[in-house]
């Protein structure tokens, strides 16, 4: 497994952990701290989107230029190597899509929490008046 896939796998694992922390029920104070911390990492974490897109383009290019081994001329070893490369490419595509999807989920969850907090502040001001 290449270094870029190790990095992408680690980022996906971290994003999954943050998303789990954001959706688990917690007291309001702790939840606001978790949302604030996740919001701080959203802007630098956006770098994963072009990285994953580049990896998807690289996978597409490799798929277009891969030697096909579908005829009876291929040996068993060549066919096994071909199928293994296809499975790796499919796994890597899932990893790239998951990285982008989890980033979007974290972004939306943080945005919803901020909107809810702003609406609660507006409601509190209207009740005080």
Q: Residues 7-30: pLDDT tens digits?
A: 989 999 999 999 999 999 989 899
Domain segments of the chain as ranges: 1-65+74-128
Query: With b meaning 16 or more CB within 10 Å and e meaning fewer, what string describes 35-56?
Result: beebbeeeeebeebeebbeebb
d(CA 121, CA 44): 28
Indicate the pTM of the whole model: 0.82
Residue range 38-62, pLDDT digits in tens = 999 888 888 888 989 888 888 888 8
Confidence band, pLDDT 50/70/90 cuts, at residue 1: low
Q: 7-29 burial, b for 16+ CB within 10 Å, e for fewer?
A: ebbebbeebeebbebbeeeeeee
Which ranges of 1-129 does DSSP label H, i.e. alpha helix? 3-23, 28-45, 48-64, 76-128
């Amino acid at each position: 497994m290449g270094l870029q896939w190790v990095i992408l796998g680690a980022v996906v694992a971290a994003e999954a952990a943050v998303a789990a922390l954001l959706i688990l029920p917690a007291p309001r104070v702790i939840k606001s701290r978790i949302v604030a911390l996740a919001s701080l990492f959203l802007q630098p974490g956006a770098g994963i989107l072009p990285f994953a897109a580049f990896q998807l383009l690289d996978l597409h290019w490799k798929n277009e230029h891969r030697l096909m081994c579908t005829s009876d001329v291929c040996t068993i070893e060549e066919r096994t190597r071909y199928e293994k490369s296809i499975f790796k490419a499919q796994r890597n595509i899932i990893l790239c899509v998951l990285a982008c999807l989890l980033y979007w989920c974290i972004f939306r969850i943080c945005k919803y929490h901020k909107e809810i907090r702003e609406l609660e502040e507006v409601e509190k001001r209207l009740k005080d008046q």
